[in-house]
Amino acid sequence: MSKKTKKIVILSEVELRKTVSRLTSEIIEKVNNLDNLLLVGIPTRGIELAEVLEKELFLKTGLRVSKGTIDPTFYRDDQNRVGTRLIKITDIPTPIEKKEILLIDDVIYTGRTIRAAMDALYSWGRPQRVMLLVMVDRGHRELPIQPDFCGKKVPTSKIESISLRLNRVDNEEGVFLNS
């Protein structure tokens, strides 16, 4: 008999939209030249979140910010522990030399995914600056990596998980704690 997991709403659909709007305003404030910005989503929900942010940036500024994806799977140092999933295609649409890169992920936990994503990114060149945006920081870092932009900090236990759900792919929207 399996134990039923409890799903707790961390951010409702409305709160998620407000958080995306706030994060977008913070990006506009912190990045001097949005024409030099490249949004890079990390699978799986980081890619979808990058799409949402790109649209919101366009609505607020009228500028089309470049976006791409990077799959850090083969750069992970803990592959045997986390396993592999279907690999997403890495798509960096522009040379990254002298670009400001905004890595985007749904949840930061140990920091290992971000470290692997940075290793993968640097195999494409040397950007001017790399920043990190996450929707949720759940703590338990194993590496000294902190987000520059964070939607919400949610301390969790190691057995809990957090999921970002977006209408476009999940038919529901919000951030949920699964315990």
What ranges do the domains of the chain cover?
A: 22-168
CATH fold for the domain made of 22-168: Rossmann fold (3.40.50)
DSSP character at residue 1: -
Q: Is 119 exposed, middle or buried (0-12, 13-18, 19+ CB in 10 A)?
A: middle
E strand map for 45-146: 66-69, 100-108, 129-137
What are the pLDDT digits (tens) for 94-143? 999 999 999 999 999 999 999 999 999 999 999 999 999 999 999 999 99
**This prediction's pTM:** 0.93
pLDDT digits (tens, 9 = 90+) for 63-90: 999 999 999 988 888 766 555 556 778 8
